[in-house]
Amino acid sequence: MSEFALIAKLHSALAVSHPEVQIKSGDDAAVIVGDDKHALAISCDTLISGRHFPRNTSAHAMAFKALAVNLSDMAAMGAVPRYATLALSLPKACANNDFISEFAQGFAMLANQYGVELIGGDTTASSQLCINITIIGKLPIISGSVEALRRSGAELGDDIFVSRELGAAGFILAQLEKRLPNHIEPIKIEKYNALDYPQPEVILGQKLRAIANSAIDISDGLLADLQHILSASGFGAVIDIANLPLAAMLKSPILREELNWAQQLALTTGDHYGLCFTAPRQNRESILALGAWRIGTITQEQGIRLVQNDVTLSLPISCGFNHFA
């Protein structure tokens, strides 16, 4: 059973539906209307050592990343993050001053940057190191309706953008896990920041509320995550490979000859935590001015069509990460 079939099954027998829950499961966050001026966007994400980050990741980086991936869901909704709860499952060996101080500093770095207050949580001993964060943010209500970026808002003819260059985290992970294809030499990587310290697009998300029609954060892979926008919006997309912004790491001399492989990484690897979003043609210039890259167009024809120099290419076998595929 795939991750998404499993989630659908969980929901299938449930009958409760409250009117104040305006956006339900299926987007980057749920939205609950609070007072008449604000709604609350709520989301949670779990990171497990050895699964979502390499086992030797520092406590500082794992805390930063756990909060970053949650903030990224707030960014994808255009919400202003405000509160978090933190459920920590820790092996006994981690319950020491050094680990916890480092962890606290990594968490505080992002929490302080974005004004997030830690309002609670839970701590247990466990054989498996596991970090679960619930993040709560605010969205404005204007003329009675919640101003949220949604996966379902894409419209025919929309431009498709990504907020920053692609593929660096995917490359680092492939190299660390010794999954580089035989003909590709490892490169010297100075810092693992793209993997360990992903930057959530919190400020961009809030700016996009007024000018974009739909958005998602790239956690599993560009193609897989774009497909969520397409399924929720009922459209397809054409992506021009020549316009994909590749991370500097993928343009190093060693990889210059391996453009196809670099493009596959850019299209299918996750851990990116930038945004993929769509917007009407008339907003193109204002969006490009924010530093985003235009990579394609929303089409009537369903599915994703990859083109290069007007030639249609076949889609990669896997478009992104799925926990149970």
Short-list 285, 305, 282, CA closest to 235: 305
Rounded to an integer, what distance in angstroms lies between the CA atom of residue 40 and that of residue 43?
10
Residue pointed to by tokens 């909060």: 67
Q: Closer to ligand ADP at the Cβ: 10 or 119?
A: 10
CB 28 to ligand ADP: min, Å? 4
Residues 275, 207 contacting (CB under 8 angstroms): no
Partner from ligand ADP, Mg ion, none contacting 165, C-beta within 5 to 8 A by type: none
Minimum CB–partner distance for residue 151 and Mg ion (Å): 9
**Which residue, 76 or 239, has its beta carbon nearer to ligand ADP?**
76
* Of 301, 157, 305, nearest in space to 240 by CA: 305
Residue 25: name its binding partner from Mg ion, ligand ADP, none (Cβ under 5 to 8 Å by kind): ligand ADP
Residue 76 vs 246, nearer CB to ligand ADP? 76
Please give the residue ranges that form the binding site for ligand ADP (CB under 6 A): 7, 10, 25-28, 45, 73, 219
Instruction: Report the nearest approach of ligand ADP to the CB of residue 68 (Å).
Output: 12
Tokens, residue 209: 């509320």
CB nearer to Mg ion: give 27 or 165: 27
Interacting partner of 10 out of ligand ADP, Mg ion, none (Cβ under 5 to 8 A depending on kind): ligand ADP
Closer residue to ligand ADP, CB minimum distance, 52 or 82: 52
Nearer to Mg ion, 72 or 213 (CB): 72
Partner that binds at residue 271, options ligand ADP, Mg ion, none, CB closer than 5 to 8 Å by kind: none
The residues pairing with 31 across neighbouring beta strands, listed in sequence order, are 23, 41
User: Binding partner of residue 196 among ligand ADP, Mg ion, none, CB under 5 to 8 Å per kind?
Assistant: none
User: In angstroms, what is the minimal distance from the CB of 219 to Mg ion?
Assistant: 5
Strands (E), the chain: 21-23, 30-33, 38-48, 80-90, 117-125, 130-142, 145-146, 159-162, 214-217, 236-240, 275-279, 293-299, 303-308, 311-313
Nearer to ligand ADP, 43 or 49 (CB): 43
Q: How many CA atoms, within 13 angstroms, populate the side-chain half-sphere of residue 99? A: 12
Which residue's CB comes closest to Mg ion?
Answer: 28
Maximum Cα interatomic distance, the chain, rounded to a whole number of Å: 59
Pick what 119 binds: Mg ion, ligand ADP, none; C-beta below 5 to 8 Å, kind-dependent: none
Q: Which helix (H) or strand (E) holds 238?
A: strand 236-240
Of 313, 176, 181, 190, nearest to 244 (Cα)? 313
Task: Report the interface residues with Mg ion, using CB under 5 A.
Answer: 28, 73, 217
Question: Which residue, 5 or 10, has its beta carbon nearer to ligand ADP?
Answer: 10
In whole angstroms, how close is the CB of 26 to ligand ADP at the nearest point?
5
CB 45, min distance to ligand ADP, A: 5
Q: Which does 27 bind (CB under 5 to 8 A by kind): Mg ion, ligand ADP, none?
A: ligand ADP
Residue 225: which H helix or E strand, with range?
Answer: helix 222-233
Nearest approach, Cβ of residue 45 and Mg ion (Å): 8
User: Contacts from 54-61 at CB under 8 Å and sequence distance 24+?
Assistant: 54/176, 54/177, 57/196, 58/102, 58/106, 58/196, 59/94, 59/98, 59/99, 59/100, 59/102, 59/103, 59/106, 60/102, 60/103, 60/105, 60/106, 61/106, 61/196, 61/197
Amino acid at 294: R
7 touches which of ligand ADP, Mg ion, none (CB within 5 to 8 A by kind)?
Answer: ligand ADP
Minimum distance, C-beta of residue 198 to ligand ADP, in the bound complex (Å) = 13
